[in-house]
């Protein structure tokens, strides 16, 4: 029987606007990278180095209707994990909402036998930190797709013909 070595790489990015302008021109800047497969060594992938963090990634799920796509990251409860979770999901209430976008990229990877190198990326998913909850043992960070995570802290996400194609002009649409 062959063993399959699978792990997750998580990249946390913030949208940075270089000046105090109200424009949305900026770039994504990676603030943290974590992996859950090798406790003794860093893993390098695509120019980045991933530190070990004990977490469980509960992959994408959706409702029967196909909306509300979500996933979650589970980490143990301590001050460091609480601070990271807070940083991912909390949007400061400022007038410059475009300065505080967050993104979480999760890559599920096929690893080598020693869990030291990525052989192939099986899936890559981009999420927005939607909410968090915690108890004495675990912190759960709820991740949602950018379209499903529409709220005041996620500006400039519109469904239009340029981004998704032809849109219905009536609410009386049925699919078979």
State pLDDT tens for residues 29-59.
899 999 999 999 999 999 999 999 989 999 7
Q: Is 47 left (phi over 0), alpha (psi -120 to 50) or beta?
A: left
- Backbone φ and ψ for 74, nearest 5 degrees, come out as -115, 125
What pLDDT score does 9 carry? 96
pLDDT at residue 84, rounded to an integer: 84
Mean local confidence (pLDDT), 102-112: 92
Per-residue DSSP letter, 66: S
pTM of the predicted model as reported, rounded to 2 decimal places = 0.74
What is the reported pLDDT for 131? Answer: 87
Could you give the C-alpha distances from 14 to 91, 99, 108, 164, in angstroms and in order?
11, 8, 21, 25
- For residue 155, pLDDT beyond 90: no
Range of weakest confidence among 29-33, 118-122, 169-173: 169-173
Contact 84, 77 (CB under 8 A): no
Contact call for residues 9 and 33 (beta carbons, < 8 A): yes
* Two structure tokens written together for 149: 């995570």
Give the mean model confidence (pLDDT) for residues 117-144. 90
Whether the per-residue pLDDT at 88 is higher than 50: the answer is yes
Residue 149 has pLDDT above 60, yes or no: no
The predicted structure's pLDDT at residue 23: 59
């Amino acid at each position: 029987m062959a063993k399959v070595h699978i792990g997750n790489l998580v990249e946390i990015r913030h949208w940075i606007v270089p000046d105090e302008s109200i424009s949305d021109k900026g770039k994504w800047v990676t603030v943290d990278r974590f992996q859950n497969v090798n406790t003794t060594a860093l893993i390098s992938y695509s120019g980045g180095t991933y530190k070990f963090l004990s977490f469980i990634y509960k992959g994408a799920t959706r409702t029967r209707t196909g909306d509300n796509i979500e996933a979650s990251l589970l980490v143990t409860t301590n001050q460091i994990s609480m601070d990271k979770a807070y940083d991912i999901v909390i949007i400061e209430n400022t007038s410059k909402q475009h300065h505080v976008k967050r993104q979480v990229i999760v890559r599920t990877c096929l690893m080598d036998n020693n869990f030291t190198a990525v052989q192939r990326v099986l899936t890559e998913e981009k999420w927005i930190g939607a909410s968090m909850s915690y108890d004495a043992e675990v912190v759960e960070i709820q991740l949602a797709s950018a379209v499903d995570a529409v709220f005041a802290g996620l500006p400039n996400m519109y469904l239009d013909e340029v981004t998704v194609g032809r849109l219905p002009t009536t609410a009386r649409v049925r699919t078979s």
